[in-house]
């Protein structure tokens, strides 16, 4: 599905004391773990964070994430919007958490 990138994609090399307690997101976001371990609370469910886990975060989501200080996260993020002709329904049907092929 075509998208419009809102902000330049970023890599975050999280410091040992890192945590993320976001306000409600204003746009869609791909949030991919490239390295490290931790956890994310989203929609009342706790998700393990490890290499290969990818979230498709939606507007209004309020993620809370932490990592293991001795195995900090390295994360890739992209803020985006679906193009106008893509229906909201089709995006709402996407699962929130994905695991990239070959990662455990």
Q: Where are the alpha helices (DSSP H) in the chain?
A: 88-92
How confident is the prediction for the chain on average, in pLDDT? 84
Closest-CA residue to 57 (of 89, 83, 88, 91): 91
Question: Which two structure tokens, joined as six digits, stand for 61?
Answer: 């989501």
Q: Which domains does the chain have, with CATH numbers?
A: 3-99 (2.60.120.10)
pTM of this structure: 0.80
Identify the DSSP state of 17: T
pLDDT reading at 101 higher than 50: no
pLDDT tens, position by position, 7-28 = 889 999 999 999 999 899 999 8
> Could you tell me if 47 and 39 are in contact, meaning their C-beta atoms sit under 8 angstroms apart?
yes
For 100, phi then psi, to 5°, come to: -65, 145
Of the pLDDT bands very low, low, confident and very high (cuts 50, 70, 90), residue 102 is: very low
Cα–Cα distance measured from residue 86 to residue 92, given in angstroms and rounded to the nearest whole number: 11
């Amino acid at each position: 599905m075509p998208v419009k990138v809102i902000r330049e994609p970023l890599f975050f090399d999280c410091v040992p004391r890192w945590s993320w307690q976001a306000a409600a997101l204003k746009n869609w976001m791909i949030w991919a773990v490239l390295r490290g371990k931790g956890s994310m609370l989203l929609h009342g469910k706790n998700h393990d964070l490890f290499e290969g886990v990818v979230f498709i975060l939606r507007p209004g989501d309020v993620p809370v994430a932490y990592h293991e200080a001795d195995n900090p996260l390295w994360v890739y993020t992209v803020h985006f919007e679906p193009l106008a002709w893509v229906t909201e329904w089709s995006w709402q049907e996407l699962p929130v958490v994905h695991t990239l092929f070959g990662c455990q």
